[in-house]
Amino acid sequence: MRFLLSIDDTDTLETIGTGRLSRMLAQCLCEKLGAKNLGVTRHQLLAHPSIPYTSHNSSACMEVEWEGSIDGVAETARGFMRDHFHFGADPGMAIIRRDLFSPELAGFGRDAQVKILTKEGAYDLARKKGAMLEEFGGTGGGVIGALAGIGLRGSGNDGRFIELEGIRNISGVVSVERILAECRIEQVVDVKTKRTLSMEELIDTKDWIRPDLSDGRIILFVSPNGNQLYSILKEKKNGAGKKEK
């Protein structure tokens, strides 16, 4: 069975960010449950003066595969979140079975990118759609971004992978063939022409491969750099790209 698990508002200026914490959580689920990590994505939310956030107001969502129940995933994740709570943060977590995902959750995620939403609205939708939603201290406002995270990841059309099999093991100039062989990336595409690159074409990775989730596929978007090479895009197509650790 597959599960979507998202966290948000976990950090302060003095602590590690949500992106890194989410990758640690995914590793924890793999080690303690024997779950399979299908990738962690970063999702940009609305940055607005009325919304408290540390730097860029993004949430992180992972998809994991495990033979057990959602309660087992939640128990392990809950312990991890409590162990890593930092005073001053307002962390929240959302979990749902992948097969229970609904368009309403995707809509909530899209709304969180353009509107100011409420905890009450997040909890109400979570109850109606079978998602588990939990806060771990502070104001608990992170539940909004956490639910938005599973909505955006589940939509199949938002997010940049910050953790995915193979992407942190490749550096320098490499062929498209090697990228597809060693990573779970499905396609390498010229962002300007929308052309799918051939196997022999070369990519200057700049030691930073971060594919996007687009139309339900894991796609690495690149652009020509004028030297018969293509370069990795450092920012997401919608402008939501911080180079995370």
Please give the model's pTM, rounded to 2 decimal places: 0.89
Q: Is residue 225 part of a domain?
A: yes
User: Both 91 and 186 in a single domain?
Assistant: no
- For residue 58, what pLDDT is reported? 87
**What is the rounded distance in angstroms from the CA atom of residue 47 to the CA atom of residue 53?**
8
User: Both 104 and 174 in a single domain?
Assistant: no
- For residue 14, what pLDDT is reported? 60
Neighbours of 223 (CB within 10 A): 13
Q: How many residues does the chain have?
A: 245
Counted domains in the chain: 2
* CB 84 within 8 Å of CB 93: no
* CB 191 within 8 Å of CB 224: no
- For residue 47, what pLDDT is reported? 72
Per-residue model confidence as pLDDT tens digits over 128-173: 999 999 999 888 889 999 999 999 999 999 999 999 999 999 999 9
Per-residue model confidence as pLDDT tens digits over 31-44: 999 999 999 999 99
User: Both 44 and 140 in a single domain?
Assistant: yes
Phi, psi of 112 (to 5 degrees): -65, -15
Q: Is residue 185 part of a domain?
A: yes
Residue corresponding to tokens 């940055």: 47
What confidence tier does 85 reach under pLDDT thresholds 50, 70, 90?
confident
Per-residue model confidence as pLDDT tens digits over 222-239: 999 877 789 987 654 443
User: Both 152 and 177 in a single domain?
Assistant: no
Q: Is residue 242 part of a domain?
A: no
Give the residue from 112, 144, 160 where a domain finishes.
Answer: 160
**What is the rounded distance in angstroms from the CA atom of residue 38 to the CA atom of residue 201?**
27
Q: Is residue 239 part of a domain?
A: no
Has residue 63 got a pLDDT over 80?
A: yes
**What is the rounded distance in angstroms from the CA atom of residue 240 to the CA atom of residue 45?**
9
- For residue 191, what pLDDT is reported? 94
**What is the rounded distance in angstroms from the CA atom of residue 153 to the CA atom of residue 159?**
7
Residue corresponding to tokens 């939990």: 134
The mean pLDDT of the chain is: 90
**What is the rounded distance in angstroms from the CA atom of residue 42 to the CA atom of residue 162?**
7
Q: Is residue 237 part of a domain?
A: no
**What is the rounded distance in angstroms from the CA atom of residue 214 to the CA atom of residue 146?**
20
* CB 204 within 8 Å of CB 223: no
User: Both 24 and 118 in a single domain?
Assistant: yes
Percentage of the chain modeled with pLDDT above 90: 77
- CATH code at position 38: 3.30.70.2200
E strand or H helix at 61, and its extent? strand 58-65
Give the residue from 160, 183, 210 where a domain finishes.
Answer: 160
Has residue 245 got a pLDDT over 60?
A: no
- For residue 16, what pLDDT is reported? 76
